[in-house]
Structure 1
Amino acid sequence: MSTASGDPTTGTADFSAAPLADASVPEEWENGQDTLRDGSATETGEAEQRPATQRPATGEATVRAESGAALPAMAAALPAHRPTRGRYRGSSSGYELDLRVDVDSVPGGPKVLRKVSGDFFSTGGGTKAYFGSFVVDAPTVSRSATRVVIRGIATYTWTTAFTLVRVTVPRSRTNQRPGAATVEFLRPPGQLGATYVCPYVSPYFRTVEWEQDSVTGTVPFLSYDTGSLPQPANSPARTLTVPRAYAEAGIELLVSGTANTIANSRNGWTNTELHGAMETNFSLWRNVPQWKLWLLVAGSYEGMEGVRGIMFDAADTFQRQGCAVFYDLIRGTDPEAQRAMLRTYVHELGHSFNLLHSWQKNLATPPAPLGGNNGFADLSWMNYPQNYQPLNGNGGAAAYWGAFPFQFTDNEQIHLRHGFYRNVIMGANAFATGAADIEPELFDEPLTDESGLRLDLRVGKSGFSFGEPVVVELKLETTDLRGRSTHNHLHPDDELVSVAIRQPSGRTVLYRPLLRRCVDQDRTVRLDAGRPAIYSSAYIGYGRDGHYFQQPGTYQLRAAYLASDGSRIVSPVLRLDVRHPVSQDDVRLAELMMGEEQGKILALRGSDSPSLQSGNDALQEIIERHATHPFAVYARLAKGLNFEHEFKSLSPDKSELVVRPPDPKSGIEQLTHVVKASEQGKGVDNLTLNLASRRLARAYARQGDLEEANTTLDRLVQHFDTPAFKPYVVDAVRDQADTTKARLTAEFGG
């Protein structure tokens, strides 16, 4: 909401502080009657509801094509009217208005959404600043032979008494230049405020500059012929590029800048490395809101299989400017690969426009309605093909592609075209917008549950010290031992599990991962008597909204898992206590752990980023000065995981990738402490111990000591091979250890 003292809707007077009058539409507007300046009456867009004899005549031939009546011979000989749609821009009294009119369809063009919206900017001298936005959701459209009049009640980002909007657009033929739109703002019942005359700018509702770079050895996507493979009968065959896909949604995507080719890394890219690459290579990049975005065609994503793309710019103040696709996973020249590649590009760029996954829209601020089957029934660029599950019939990737018309849903197109400026433009409101507040009812238990699944959320201790990283364990099990199939994306960072946190203050917030990734891969798991449950461990202490456990007291947590069939499985409430510090040492250690940079490092599992140097210094102080304190285990874990792998950055001249090689000796030093403490029950949880042990083994292998690497993995299996763990858990750990041994032998055995 703008805090400026003026109001661009009032004209010369400022009524912004006046009490609001009755906001109902005047009766003559409801009846579709209005008097234009030339004295002629309008013809409503619903002309077929009135007999032709009741329709007013004008000075030229009456156009009644929308009613199905035949055109007079003279009118039929004229070129068709231009559709009333597109972007207009005008100024008045120190304000500029960007207007979007969306009331007419174009044959073969984007769908008409019957809305009018606009953004206001205050101007002065050589400067311009955003003021606010408005949208008219259900306007009345009236047409005569010479004009189109659009009227309705607007919703604003600020408070104004001038809630009624009237837009008059002269009708022009296809062989004529479009006329300017006149926009009037009125205070009910009819007091005229500001008037803007807005010349026509573009048939597109918004224009975005798109810069794309790629790493050596990749072939960026060009185009896909939708007729190459079977598709819905109502979806015409056409050649789609990424800009053409957005053009069909009414968005102009201009390819700009020089396409740089940068060095790749065979070990994959981390989030912090991607952000650094954006700052170095994105020639249009600035830390300000702007209609500009960057995409990198990278090789692979480090540390996780199945990540086809990522909108990595979701952790700083100016978010949603950069995304990446991972060529090693999406490459291919056959039609299936090209089709999937197109979807990945459009999907990741969609996140930059602040579009969430189809099943997450109700978690946005403000929440948006979900489509059928909790969003899984959406035929959208923002759904996963393997997640597609219609209300009736079979789902999955084959069903998705058989029904997908290569379009955004109507609600997504409304957001792209008419969403408030700061909610859409890159670099403004954070991904899913700013606040993390949610309605607790979103996590209420279903009235009925026949899913055959149960979700548990738990912690391995009775309470946490203030400042201690909060790690939770999620367990998904079947309640039907005949067996149930679902996906095994159980970690909240995969965005198919949500965790709500009710803080001691009574505020309920949603844990939002620091960085979001698209694990767009079918990972179906069968839960039955042989393997009744799967597990995951997640650090939820820090996310996009900062630290979630900032005060001592009792917290209530609840998780929701969205199963493959669209079922929403809700866990019981978990109560978690954060204890008050009792000494000055406790306070000092909490301060060392609770900094913003420390939170990011823990969430990223370590980083060399110069912007996080003070956070690394704080963790190092814990290791050096408080080595025996339980917090030291978490500091060592972050440091050890970071040392074990390389860190990539770009040279100042952008010509080469600078790689800090792995430091296995330092990694072994730190991770050995973590593993030993955890084996004694004084460190991290068992799932994190599994991760730390496998990374410790890799560090030994890097050093050329495969024997010690195998010994480390054998000790991991021995830790779990006790009556305390279910046999299927032990088998899973043993399989992971054997797989890791094979990989290390293949990579380092020679």
Structure 2
Amino acid sequence: MSIMLDPTALDGAVRPARRNDLEGLTLPHGAEQSGATEAAHVEPEAEEMAQLRARMARLEAQALSRPADEAVPTTVSGRFRSAGAGTQLELRVDVDGPRPLMRISGDFFQISGATTNYVGSFVVDALTTTLTEGLVKLTGRGKFSFPVLSPHVEVSIVRGTAVAPTPGEATVQFSTDGGSPSASYLCAFVSPHFRSVQLEQDSVAGTVPFVSYDTGSLPQPPSSPARVLTVPAAYAEAGIEVQIAGAPDVVPAGAAGADARWSNAELHNAMVNHFSLWQNATRWQAWQMVATSHVDDTVRGIMFDAGGAFQRQGFAVFYDKIKGEDPVSRRAQLRTYVHELGHAFNLLHSWQKNLAIPPQPLGPNGGLGELSWMNYAQNFQPPPPAPGGTAAYWAAFPFQFTDSELVHLRHGFYRDVIMGGNPFLVGAAEVDVDLFDDPVVDNSGLALELRSNGTFRFGEPVVVEIKLSTTDVRGRSTHGRLHPNDGFVTVAIRTPSGETRIYRPPLIRCADHEDRTVLDAERPAIYDSAYIGYGKDGFYFQQPGQYQLRAQYHASDGSRVFSDVHRLNVRRPLTEADEDVAELMMSGDEQGTIFYLLGSRAESLESGNRALDEVLDRHPEHPLAVYPRMVKGFGVSRDFKDLTPAKELRVRPANTEEGIGQLSKVVESSAGDEGVDNITLGQVMRRLARVEARAGNPQRAAEVMDEMVEIFDRKHLNPHVMRDIRSQAERTREETTRP
């Protein structure tokens, strides 16, 4: 049954105004639906509503009759909140002060006993404003996250005086299209900030967390005033309060030995064990880890929170990539810290905003020309002939979010912004594969292609090969970031039932560095392999039938290059063993996370590892057993850093014997036409060589690389691909035989 939730049904009774800090409350997941059901059809008491409206009228009359010598033009923007039990309204007014967006918005919460549930949100994008010396009146038609019968909103706020500059109470009146008044609220002023979040920061010993940067220490735009910016100060300029939660902890790193690099699995495990504010809940709280370096040396920061239904709570920055005391280094540190926290607020990279909810228009040159914390300095590319690159970015960047980003931060619907709310890139499922239409003109000189096996067994991890090539005999220069983790390649998936979804990787990796790849006659194409079977929406290939895939690549000059539609089939299970293996491999998010992370020994993923062990125990000869073997081999063949709840770093050493056994079986199963794809096979064999070397077998490591070249020679790959494989084999051979 469809329920129309109307502000008329929301309790707006007169109660004494008091501060009741919602930021500290845990709001149950799904409360929007449950709260709507509970609140619907609850009529407010007529006597209480009459009392409230009488009080509102008295306040307005007092403000209008204020003597002229008491009137001062004080600001009224900020956060207001109604009091008492029943339905509570948190109101945001944004009409004056720094960078006003001329909007009002709000969130409804249902208070029942000792619990508070989120009900829904609204925003008024187009306001009519009436100003007097003592009163601000704002009216407009709202957009709501739920169906309403009274969409019109009128807000009246008593202005402060020279003696008491804080705004007075805000009265809020909802009414129907016909002008009939319904629910009313009286909201006390809470804060000049539109939202508040607590940030807990911990760091690994040997790192130095960022403190502040003086924007006047290096050249900047004349329109941008010189000031000292911290991370909280940068967000305060956007109207967002960032409160540092407690004293930062320093994690001893001695147990890690020489291995100071952190994997995605280790980071997520650290957050689950170490973030004292962390819960599987929706909360205005985030955790930042200042680590040494990522296993991918090009990565400066990462939003790694991939666990469960409550995401965007944890992110990391990597000190080794941005360290330094000079102004250039401090400036880079500020941008990286603000950028990664922006992802926790569900802000996308500048070139991805068309995938947001609600969708935002892209800035100049497909977003790459946008002057924002969320762009990459080296990728900054305004429309020609304006210069791009790092120097041009910093010469023009005013150290602030764009207007569209401010709209999201200040007025985005509650679940789209709060940590643990809607997953990152939520709303991308609204994008249809047909919207990836070919451009009218394409002079990029680039071509994108998706390739994979034509048929997958039910439950088989779906891996696609992404190929970028040049169509210009003169060659093209662009970046080589083809993996969806990096945010430059987006893959749309149409299921057999006709639903279209965007593949959303569980983490966002910010490889913010200069990365140029030349494609020419010598090297006409580059390749990458991506597992797209599991992401933030769970498993994407859970039904048999034909799937259609199309990818989009964002080139360094702003061009958007589209692949043709790629089709693949997932066939039905043919035997009981097929059904059992598929169930064990896809029965939970833990298995998907383990496949995505290429193995993990985190205790939080123990049940997923047990399920994959069952596949190997009960069906060791099944064709899909190669995949549990692969992730088990990767997982056990590397040391695993475990940040415990006691804030101690312990390292579980690699089991090289088991790793060699598992990875060798993967190679044996994949040397022909079965098993894992070619790019993954190359990755497996290079890992196997490194594990052999670590086990004290450098000669065997060299032999593995020789075998890799022989296997791919038999597969009759393109000459330039074989050239890259031989180069990879040589580098790995040198690495594993080095004294």
What is the one-letter code of the residue matched to 2:132? S
Q: Which has the larger radius of gyration?
A: 1
Alignment partners' CA distance in 2, 1:183 and 1:12: 10
Match of residue 236 from structure 2? 247
1:159 is aligned to 2:147 = yes
1:438 is aligned to 2:428 = no
Helix, strand or coil at the partner of 2:429: coil
Helix, strand or coil at the partner of 2:82: strand
Q: Deviations over 1:383-424 (max 9, x none)?
A: 111221112312112211111111111111111111111111
Q: Is the 8 Å Cα contact of residues 85 and 104 (structure 1) preserved in structure 2? A: yes
Alignment partners' CA distance in 1, 2:125 and 2:6: 24
Helix, strand or coil at the partner of 2:278: coil
Match of residue 185 from structure 1? 174
What is the one-letter code of the residue matched to 1:729? V
Select which of 627, 646, 650 maps to 1:653. 646
Aligned residues: 695
Quote the offset at 1:380 in angstroms: 0.7
Select which of 278, 289, 313 maps to 2:271. 278
Select which of 545, 548, 554 maps to 1:553. 545
Quote the offset at 1:272 in angstroms: 2.9
Select which of 122, 147, 152 maps to 2:110. 122
Select which of 420, 426, 435 maps to 1:427. 420
What is the one-letter code of the residue matched to 1:190? G
Quote the offset at 1:716 in angstroms: 1.6
Match of residue 45 from structure 1? none
What is the one-letter code of the residue matched to 2:102? R
Going from structure 1 to structure 2, the CA distance change for 1:612 and 1:447 (only over 3 Å counts) comes to same
What is the one-letter code of the residue matched to 2:382? P
The TM-score, its normalising length taken from structure 1, stands at 0.88
1:218 is aligned to 2:207 = yes
Alignment partners' CA distance in 2, 1:257 and 1:352: 19
Alignment partners' CA distance in 2, 1:675 and 1:509: 33
Going from structure 1 to structure 2, the CA distance change for 1:15 and 1:276 (only over 3 Å counts) comes to closer
Going from structure 1 to structure 2, the CA distance change for 1:270 and 1:215 (only over 3 Å counts) comes to same
1:516 is aligned to 2:508 = yes
What is the one-letter code of the residue matched to 1:122? Q
Going from structure 1 to structure 2, the CA distance change for 1:692 and 1:340 (only over 3 Å counts) comes to same
Q: Is the 8 Å Cα contact of residues 7 and 150 (structure 2) preserved in structure 1? A: no
Q: Deviations over 1:48-84 (max 9, x none)?
A: xxxxxxxxx97754xxxxxxxxxxxxx6xx7842112
Quote the offset at 1:37 in angstroms: 6.7
Provide structure 1 residue ranges, at least 5 long, that are not aligned to the other structure.
19-34, 43-56, 62-74
Q: Is the 8 Å Cα contact of residues 85 and 112 (structure 2) preserved in structure 1? A: no
Q: Is the 8 Å Cα contact of residues 365 and 434 (structure 1) preserved in structure 2? A: yes
What is the one-letter code of the residue matched to 1:436? A
Alignment partners' CA distance in 2, 1:446 and 1:588: 45
Alignment partners' CA distance in 1, 2:433 and 2:542: 20
1:90 is aligned to 2:82 = yes
What is the one-letter code of the residue matched to 1:321? Q
Select which of 512, 533, 539 maps to 1:541. 533
Match of residue 711 from structure 2? 719
Q: Deviations over 1:167-197 (max 9, x none)?
A: 1112223432421111111223322222222
Helix, strand or coil at the partner of 1:133: strand
Match of residue 377 from structure 2? 385
Quote the offset at 1:676 in angstroms: 2.3
Going from structure 1 to structure 2, the CA distance change for 1:744 and 1:81 (only over 3 Å counts) comes to same
Select which of 443, 447, 456 maps to 1:454. 447
Match of residue 405 from structure 1? 398
Going from structure 1 to structure 2, the CA distance change for 1:219 and 1:537 (only over 3 Å counts) comes to same
What is the one-letter code of the residue matched to 2:149? A
Alignment partners' CA distance in 1, 2:5 and 2:94: 30
State how 1:196-215 maps to structure 2 within 5 Å: 196-215=185-204
Alignment partners' CA distance in 2, 1:594 and 1:197: 50
Q: Is the 8 Å Cα contact of residues 7 and 182 (structure 2) preserved in structure 1? A: no
Select which of 287, 306, 312 maps to 1:320. 312
Helix, strand or coil at the partner of 1:736: helix
Quote the offset at 1:308 in angstroms: 0.7
What is the one-letter code of the residue matched to 1:734? R
Going from structure 1 to structure 2, the CA distance change for 1:485 and 1:402 (only over 3 Å counts) comes to same
State how 1:71-86 maps to structure 2 within 5 Å: 80-86=72-78
Going from structure 1 to structure 2, the CA distance change for 1:329 and 1:365 (only over 3 Å counts) comes to same
Helix, strand or coil at the partner of 1:537: strand
Going from structure 1 to structure 2, the CA distance change for 1:334 and 1:3 (only over 3 Å counts) comes to farther
Alignment partners' CA distance in 1, 2:457 and 2:59: 76
Quote the offset at 1:722 in angstroms: 6.1
Q: Deviations over 1:557-601 (max 9, x none)?
A: 111111111111110111111112222222222222222232221
Select which of 242, 257, 271 maps to 2:246. 257
Select which of 286, 291, 307 maps to 2:284. 291
State how 1:344-355 maps to structure 2 within 5 Å: 344-355=336-347
Alignment partners' CA distance in 1, 2:245 and 2:303: 19
Going from structure 1 to structure 2, the CA distance change for 1:2 and 1:610 (only over 3 Å counts) comes to farther
Match of residue 672 from structure 1? 664
Going from structure 1 to structure 2, the CA distance change for 1:745 and 1:224 (only over 3 Å counts) comes to farther
Select which of 96, 99, 104 maps to 1:111. 99
Quote the offset at 1:335 in angstroms: 1.1
Match of residue 26 from structure 1? none
Match of residue 32 from structure 2? none
Going from structure 1 to structure 2, the CA distance change for 1:169 and 1:723 (only over 3 Å counts) comes to closer
Helix, strand or coil at the partner of 2:155: strand
Q: Is the 8 Å Cα contact of residues 71 and 134 (structure 2) preserved in structure 1? A: no
Select which of 113, 116, 129 maps to 1:141. 129
Q: Is the 8 Å Cα contact of residues 91 and 107 (structure 2) preserved in structure 1? A: yes
Match of residue 31 from structure 1? none
Q: Is the 8 Å Cα contact of residues 481 and 532 (structure 1) preserved in structure 2? A: no
Alignment partners' CA distance in 1, 2:74 and 2:421: 34
Alignment partners' CA distance in 2, 1:714 and 1:608: 31
Going from structure 1 to structure 2, the CA distance change for 1:725 and 1:462 (only over 3 Å counts) comes to same
RMSD, aligned CA: 2.6
Alignment partners' CA distance in 2, 1:92 and 1:5: 20
Which segment is superposed worse, 164-173 or 549-558? Answer: 164-173
Helix, strand or coil at the partner of 1:669: helix
Quote the offset at 1:653 in angstroms: 2.2
Provide structure 2 residue ranges, at least 5 long, that are not aligned to the other structure.
14-37, 43-55
What is the one-letter code of the residue matched to 1:621? E
Q: Is the 8 Å Cα contact of residues 80 and 191 (structure 2) preserved in structure 1? A: yes
Quote the offset at 1:342 in angstroms: 0.5
Going from structure 1 to structure 2, the CA distance change for 1:192 and 1:126 (only over 3 Å counts) comes to same
Quote the offset at 1:17 in angstroms: 7.0
Quote the offset at 1:314 in angstroms: 3.1
Going from structure 1 to structure 2, the CA distance change for 1:692 and 1:2 (only over 3 Å counts) comes to farther
Alignment partners' CA distance in 1, 2:685 and 2:266: 25
What is the one-letter code of the residue matched to 1:400? Y
Identity of aligned residues (%): 53
Alignment partners' CA distance in 1, 2:196 and 2:570: 48
Match of residue 635 from structure 2? 642
Helix, strand or coil at the partner of 1:359: helix
Match of residue 615 from structure 1? 608
Quote the offset at 1:133 in angstroms: 1.3
What is the one-letter code of the residue matched to 1:275? H
Select which of 689, 696, 707 maps to 1:697. 689
Select which of 321, 331, 351 maps to 1:339. 331
Alignment partners' CA distance in 2, 1:467 and 1:430: 24
Alignment partners' CA distance in 1, 2:60 and 2:156: 14
